[in-house]
A and B are shown apart, each in its own frame.
Chain A
């Protein structure tokens, strides 16, 4: 894999300050070797507490059944599937940053990819909880897996989007995990080789798989990363496409639309980047990594947020237009009565969605606001609230008043245990994220070193002088010398 050796001088540096290779190792590994701060403990314990409440809520659900949640005959999917789609969506930014931006050779990804990938894995883990526990009889979980069984063999329906989801989400989780861990191997070896404490040598020694940094290994590692990125790119698009098929292949008004796949993928990237912003703005501050996750990184991610937010906005308007243009009375009712009408029972949810996802991100057209940390953090939370409501609107407003008025449900509100489950996944997510930020390098060490001499502030001006002869030329000459 050949790189472009020279970075444009117009591009701002991606690593600020006067850095060398050793300084990078110091800066990124220091938080792992130091004792965790008081702030870390408070955050971690809060997350564990939330997780415990989640476990308690789910245990009640397993014992007493899904009746613990306020689901009823009409609204069989409510918070649970909303939460599932929301978490899966958040889990899209990591792979987008690490895979798609790798293929597009966007070097700014190096500062944020490791944390974003970790976030992806934890978000997918949280998402997976919802369909599993929503099954009710969760001990029958293995029924969804295709294996020769004593029931016939009775196979799952391979033509069903719900089964596609099982394959898509589990493949996505596995591939993201492999991609993330392969990238971690060299960095774990860096920690191992610096370690003074015995347990650290043991733990990071085992975790780094005996990585040595041999040129041949690097060559294979680069090829592996590139092919995994190539595989993960269509994969990340397929996952949310398949999630949208859960809805789009049904004949429920409000769901039965062909626009869903691109609309869901854009929404996923949108909410994922918002979550990356929320996490990284705090992480860079607490771990003192402002030189590596610079304001430039925040700026480009905000550009992606305004882009994907606008795509989502166009999708909302297209849906409305098609509902009117199709002249289908059912579609028209689902959109104009159940959603757009502010006086309908869930009209407020539609306007929260519109306000948070379409209108408010437009402030990022202004460079000053894109580069303002407080505004960015606030907006990232707003976007995720908006995206949660998007899924709530799609799911609840479509099914609470379907074809038959006799089946119309009364006002739906979740129970404390349903909310507790959702809070519990926050606990799960943040417990993992806190552990990750304490025990793993939150920035890809080797990748930052790799771009240092191209995009580091102190190297930008003296670039280009060092390589008068390219290795390719040398290899060519060497072949012909003999």
Chain B
């Protein structure tokens, strides 16, 4: 939980945004984040973000499901209560494939979604500061973080020069808090802004 100062620029076109991201990274300003109404392929690479490894998590959850299903069925039908089904072997692997497959998919899907929500810090009644309400409509919002060495006026001019249609300064909470979106956002005016 920390309140920081940001320079927020709104872009109308993703083509301008790509060039702007490039200029920000070359300029050395601290690019906090870019908020977009839809996924923009390649923007993560342009911003220099690491590739996500959520698929690896999905694989690990998947094999957990596989082993759970196989070991559970083996325990029940071989060890705990072996039953003779028409003289077939107790370890009836072909007949267990459907359930093993289903549990693999189930574990993987549920695990990945929970991981996704955890990584993105998302849950019902989790509230965050949104820099612009149009970030989910039609604008691309680029946010630069100010440090104690920043010249905020320069940053604003810079943001204008790279194509932002609207530039302003916001002090904002960077973390999340529990609350409903129907309540007004707690005022950050009196809080001490950290310029790190």
Q: Which residues of A contact B (CB under 8 A)?
A: 1-3, 20-22, 25, 146, 152-155, 157-159, 161, 163-164, 167-168, 171, 174-175, 178-179, 182, 185-186, 189-190, 192-195, 198-199, 201-202, 204-207, 209-224, 226-228, 231-232, 234-235, 238, 242, 245, 445-447, 449-450, 466-467, 470-472, 474-475, 478, 481
| Cβ contacts under 8 Å, B176 to chain A | 210
Sample of 13 further A-B pairs with CB below 8 A, known A164-B98, A213-B35 = A25-B138, A153-B76, A155-B81, A158-B99, A193-B133, A194-B137, A205-B125, A206-B125, A209-B122, A215-B36, A219-B52, A227-B54, A446-B39
Would you list the 9 A-B pairs with minimal beta carbon distance, nearest first?
Answer: A205-B181, A471-B42, A21-B138, A202-B182, A209-B122, A22-B138, A159-B95, A155-B76, A210-B126
B37 adjacent to A213 (CB under 8 Å): yes
**How far apart are B33's CB and chain A's nearest CB, in angstroms?**
5
Task: Give which listed residue, A212, A222, A466, contacts B35 with CB less than 8 A.
Answer: A212
A471 adjacent to B133 (CB under 8 Å): no
**How far apart are A160's CB and chain B's nearest CB, in angstroms?**
8
For residue B49, which residue of chain A has the nearest CB? A216
B15 adjacent to A467 (CB under 8 Å): yes
| Cβ contacts under 8 Å, A221 to chain B | 39, 116, 120
A450 adjacent to B127 (CB under 8 Å): no
| Cβ contacts under 8 Å, A227 to chain B | 54-55, 58, 108, 112
| Cβ contacts under 8 Å, A185 to chain B | 122
Bound complex: CA A98 to CA B124 (Å) = 25
Asked if B92 is at the interface of the complex by the 8 Å CB criterion, the answer is yes
Q: A157-B85, A174-B106, A205-B127 are in contact. Are A238 and B101 (CB under 8 A)?
A: yes
A475 adjacent to B136 (CB under 8 Å): no
For residue A198, which residue of chain B has the nearest CB? B182
Q: Is the interface of A mostly helix, strand, loop or mixed?
A: helix
Task: Give which listed residue, A168, A182, A235, contacts B116 with CB less than 8 A.
Answer: A182
Task: Give which listed residue, B46, B110, B119, contacts A471 with CB less than 8 A.
Answer: B46
For residue A21, which residue of chain B has the nearest CB? B138
Asked if B44 is at the interface of the complex by the 8 Å CB criterion, the answer is yes
**How far apart are B111's CB and chain A's nearest CB, in angstroms?**
10
A211 adjacent to B109 (CB under 8 Å): no
Task: Give which listed residue, A1, A179, A231, A242, contacts B98 with CB less than 8 A.
Answer: A242
Q: A178-B110, A210-B128, A220-B54 are in contact. Are A154 and B99 (CB under 8 A)?
A: no
| Cβ contacts under 8 Å, A223 to chain B | 52, 54-55
Q: Total contacts A to B, CB within 8 angstroms?
A: 234
B41 adjacent to A3 (CB under 8 Å): yes
Bound complex: CA A154 to CA B182 (Å) = 51
Q: Interface size of B by Cβ–Cβ distance < 8 Å? A: 76
Q: A154-B81, A474-B46 are in contact. Are A214 and B33 (CB under 8 A)?
A: yes
**How far apart are B3's CB and chain A's nearest CB, in angstroms?**
17
A22 adjacent to B126 (CB under 8 Å): no
B76 adjacent to A158 (CB under 8 Å): yes
Asked if B169 is at the interface of the complex by the 8 Å CB criterion, the answer is no
Task: Give which listed residue, B40, B76, B99, contacts A167 with CB less than 8 A.
Answer: B99
**11 A-B pairs (CB sep. < 8 Å):** A146-B76, A158-B76, A159-B95, A164-B99, A174-B106, A185-B122, A193-B137, A204-B181, A205-B125, A212-B135, A214-B120
Q: Which residues of B contact A (CB under 8 A)?
A: 15, 18, 22, 25-26, 33-49, 51-52, 54-55, 58, 62, 72-73, 76-77, 80-81, 83, 85, 88, 92, 95-96, 98-99, 101-103, 105-106, 108-110, 112-113, 116-117, 119-128, 130, 133-138, 141, 176, 180-182
B181 adjacent to A206 (CB under 8 Å): yes
| Cβ contacts under 8 Å, B48 to chain A | 475, 478
Q: A159-B85, A223-B52 are in contact. Are A209 and B117 (CB under 8 A)?
A: yes
Q: A193-B133, A194-B133, A202-B182 are in contact. Are A210 and B40 (CB under 8 A)?
A: no
Q: A193-B130, A206-B124, A209-B126 are in contact. Are A216 and B137 (CB under 8 A)?
A: no
| Cβ contacts under 8 Å, B106 to chain A | 171, 174-175
A21 adjacent to B37 (CB under 8 Å): yes
Task: Give which listed residue, A168, A214, A445, contacts B102 with CB less than 8 A.
Answer: A168
> Considering residues A167, A199, A201, A450, which has the most beta carbons from chain B within 10 angstroms of its beta carbon?
A167
For residue A163, which residue of chain B has the nearest CB? B99
A218 adjacent to B102 (CB under 8 Å): no
Bound complex: CA A122 to CA B38 (Å) = 27
| Cβ contacts under 8 Å, B95 to chain A | 158-159
B43 adjacent to A171 (CB under 8 Å): no
For residue B47, which residue of chain A has the nearest CB? A215
Task: Give which listed residue, A209, A215, A220, contacts B123 with CB less than 8 A.
Answer: A209
| Cβ contacts under 8 Å, A20 to chain B | 138
For residue A189, which residue of chain B has the nearest CB? B136
| Cβ contacts under 8 Å, B35 to chain A | 212-215
**How far apart are A244's CB and chain B's nearest CB, in angstroms?**
12
| Cβ contacts under 8 Å, B119 to chain A | 220
